[in-house]
Amino acid sequence: MAGVLWSLLGVLAGAFIAVQAPINAQLARGLGLPVAAAAFSFLSGAVILGVISLLMTRAQQVSIDWQAPALWLFAAGGFLGAAYVTSAVILTPKLGAAALMAFLVTGQLIAGMLIDRVGFLGVAVREISMGRIVGALLLLAGALMIRVY
């Protein structure tokens, strides 16, 4: 049962990404600058997450006991997120939301398979099977069909 719940939450998160793209594209049209729209998206997200973190820390009376991670980890996720959001802002009006989401999911799947294969940053190692390769090719074919037809 828990696996189904986590899977449904993954689908919901994917839907959030699909909805976020046209919202940010509309913001970019209003502002006249895609990078500014991405910046405001990240700023509002950072504020919201900061408030949630503060509330959770106080509610649970958690003492933050962390080990100093590598410095690049502090910026890498933000950089990748900024590149994603800016790309989505620029590409949504050009490709359409459905085609963009199809290409994004294809890229995520291919990158995810490579991350699994090498165990990047402690991710459990999973082999790239023929089923995974066929699945990725089918997803790519679907993305192309959504874009072309």
Which string of b and e fits 122-143 if b means at least 16 CB within 10 Å?
Answer: eeeeeeeeeebeeebeebbeeb
Distance CA 103, CA 34 (A): 20
Share of the chain above pLDDT 90, in %: 50
Domain carrying residue 133: 2-148
Number of domains into which the chain is organized: 1
pLDDT in tens, 126-135: 999 999 999 9
- The pLDDT, as a whole number, for residue 49 is 93
pLDDT in tens, 77-93: 889 999 999 999 999 99
Task: Give the residue-averaged pLDDT of 12-38.
Answer: 91
pLDDT band at residue 70 using 50, 70 and 90 as cut-offs: confident
Q: Which amino acid is at 78?
A: G
